[in-house]
Amino acid sequence: MRRFLSYRDFDWTLMGFVVALSVISVLEIYSATLHTKFVNFDQKQMLWLAGGFVSMFVLSLIDYHILLDIAVWAYGICLVSLVAVLAVGTKVLGGRRWISLPGGIHFQPSEWVKLVLIVVLARFFTNLSGRDLTWKDIFKAIAMVVVPMLLVMKQPDLGTALTYAPVLLVGLFLGGIRFRQAAILFLAASLALVPAWYKVLKPYQKARLTSFLAPDNDPRGSGYQIRQSLIAVGSGGVWGQGAEKGSQTQGDFLPIPYTDFIFAAFCEEHGLAGAVLVLLLYFLLLMRLVQNAQTAADLPGTLIVMGVVAVLIFQIAVNVGMVIGFMPVTGIPLPLMSYGGSSVLFTFLALGIVMNIRMSRFVN
């Protein structure tokens, strides 16, 4: 099939939205790190983006059915890599999330697990198509997601672990779960929150999950990040303070403005108008992805694209919600804007598979 694929059928409209967000990312990272020790992060981001674009074009030429065939093996490799992180991973700020590679590169396997889960669940539910989901099928799908989720939470990295859940939810929904089954699962999950709160979550994670409700109760501790973010967003007004002029960002009050809180830094400098522009770009990008899912040539193509949509929607909603005080601080990056090689490459590789699914529609 690959030799008949043509970049003429590439989704150049989707590509335009991706380029626009990538340009905004580099400019904002430059501004947010201008007076900090994290200089040249904008140049590093450009290198990650360049690698991402190349990866996307290369992966768009690989038949996604091949990825479905090797999904089980890839899933096994991911589990091994997550165990390796816990055993020999680099420890930073109390957590083991990366494996150090030659050249000062830090590899974060948990980001790649999202992509593998999308493909392996698409394969799983495709094989079940044509019959109703049984409880055995549902528990198998849940186990496939919960196992890597628990390994990532052990690192600990609650934010990344939570991004696996949308893949499972959209898979169950499109896989044909019945309302009664969904209601029972929802009730069981709700009841499981109580023991999880007391037995699984660490004290600092509990503080993060509750501080957004009343950040002023501990303005110098758990509520500091939310409070500074709200100040940055509010001080931007309608049109913003201007590039490289944000008082919270340039004064080093806003924490990690080039990753988790990059949207807050952007809002401070470009105001409500800039925020609306970015959110509009995300909306158009997601709608374009949904359109590609609707027009996919087969069920696995639809499941893969909707898995990508689910992860991106979750990350955008949680990150933006965190910045404006509607969500707890979880460390989930903003796709295509936050600095970080693993996150950038995951997004572009996912888009590369989407492009192949779209291009395969035109193969005779």
pLDDT one-digit tens code per residue, 142-189? 999 999 999 998 887 888 899 999 999 999 999 989 999 999 999 999
> Which residues constitute the domain of residue 17?
2-360
Dig out the tokens for 63 from the structure.
């038949």
Residue 254 confidence (pLDDT): 85
The whole-angstrom separation of Cα 111 and Cα 164 is 10
Task: With cut-offs at 50, 70 and 90, classify the pLDDT of residue 364.
Answer: low
How far is the CA of 206 from the CAs of 124, 201, 202, 212, in angstroms?
34, 6, 6, 11
Residue 131 confidence (pLDDT): 80
Pairwise pLDDT comparison (266 vs 195), residue with the higher score: 266
Q: Which residues contact 220 (CB under 8 A, 6 or more apart)?
A: none
The residue-averaged pLDDT of 316-324 equals: 93
How far is the CA of 272 from the CAs of 106, 236, 245, 317, 323, in angstroms?
35, 7, 16, 17, 13
Pairwise pLDDT comparison (72 vs 201), residue with the higher score: 72
- Domain total of the chain: 1
Residue 342 confidence (pLDDT): 84
Residue 2 confidence (pLDDT): 44
Percentage of the residues of the chain whose pLDDT score is greater than 90 = 60
Length of the chain, in residues: 364
The pair phi, psi for residue 90, each rounded to 5°, is: -75, 130
The whole-angstrom separation of Cα 14 and Cα 331 is 27
The residue-averaged pLDDT of 251-268 equals: 90
Cβ–Cβ < 8 Å for 244, 266: no
**Alpha helix positions (H), 295-340:** 299-323
Cβ–Cβ < 8 Å for 205, 197: no
How far is the CA of 33 from the CAs of 245, 265, 298, 323, in angstroms?
12, 10, 45, 18
What does R_g of the chain's alpha carbons equal in angstroms?
A: 21
The pair phi, psi for residue 37, each rounded to 5°, is: -80, -5
Cβ–Cβ < 8 Å for 17, 285: yes
The pair phi, psi for residue 236, each rounded to 5°, is: -70, -25
The whole-angstrom separation of Cα 133 and Cα 140 is 11
Residue 9 confidence (pLDDT): 83
Pairing outcome for strands 90-92 and 95-101: antiparallel
Task: With cut-offs at 50, 70 and 90, classify the pLDDT of residue 233.
Answer: very high
Reported pTM: 0.92
Dig out the tokens for 250 from the structure.
């340039």
Residue 219 confidence (pLDDT): 65
| DSSP secondary structure letter of residue 330 | -
How far is the CA of 360 from the CAs of 52, 58, 62, 148, 288, in angstroms?
21, 14, 10, 31, 16
Give the other-Cβ count within 10 Å of 297's Cβ: 14
